[in-house]
Amino acid sequence: MCTASDDLNCHDDEYNNPLISSTLTKDRTLVLTWDIETYSSLGLGNFPTAQSDESNVFMICMSVHWKDDPNPLKQICLVDVETAPDPRWTTIICGNQVNLLKAFALCWKLLTPDIQIGFNDSHYNWRFIVEKAKKLEVLEWMYNQMSLKPSSLEKFQNGNINIAQ
């Protein structure tokens, strides 16, 4: 046992205790990585845009893991139509684009990540998701599922949401 007058090194033995080192020293920051796949029925050369009725998001994949741990806790693949399953992933067949967007919001709500990392997410993925959800009239529903503090779509669109309230 250490006393206040002991050398600070006396705590080294506590960090070697497997109970302390395995439980208390791991960073429990939950990281979610994600990406979307989109398609335009207008064919190659026509980049999918959320405003176009011919463009769809047909897949959203995400994995969650603890920060600094390369092994995923869960890998989820949301698809609009039936596809061959991959045993490493939980594949959820949503049936259509609206259900796919709603499933994404529900996964986000259940996982509540501390950090999100995407592949071109700020320049394409988030914009596509938000604009397509708005066009399909599910944006407010999604926002209220994904947010800790539900709000109206009008406040969301006008940027009048104060998260500190």
Query: Could you tell me if residue 85 is inside a domain?
Result: yes
Q: Domain limits at 113?
A: 25-158
Q: What is the structure's pLDDT at 152? A: 64
Q: What is the structure's pLDDT at 162? A: 47
Query: Could you tell me if residue 61 is inside a domain?
Result: yes
Query: Could you tell me if residue 136 is inside a domain?
Result: yes
Q: Computed over its alpha carbons, how large is the radius of gyration of the chain? A: 21
Q: What is the pLDDT of residues 123-143, one digit of tens each?
A: 899 999 999 999 999 999 999
Query: Could you tell me if residue 164 is inside a domain?
Result: no
Query: Could you tell me if residue 17 is inside a domain?
Result: no
Q: What is the structure's pLDDT at 163? A: 42
Packing angle of the helix pair 97-111, 126-135 (nearest 10 deg): 120
To which H or E segment does residue 99 belong? helix 97-111
Say what the alpha-carbon torsion angle 125, 136, 104, 150 is, to the nearest 10 degrees.
100
Q: Tell me the pTM.
A: 0.77
Query: Could you tell me if residue 106 is inside a domain?
Result: yes
Q: Which two tokens stand for residue 81?
A: 């139509």
Q: What is the structure's pLDDT at 45? A: 82
Query: Could you tell me if residue 11 is inside a domain?
Result: no
Neighbour-count burial of 105, counting CB atoms closer than 10 A to its CB (0-12 exposed, 13-18 middle, 19+ buried): buried
Q: Which amino acid is at 105?
A: A
The number of folded domains in the chain is 1
Residues of the chain with pLDDT under 50: 161-165
Q: Assign residue 58 the CATH number of its domain.
A: 3.30.420.10
Q: What is the structure's pLDDT at 28? A: 87
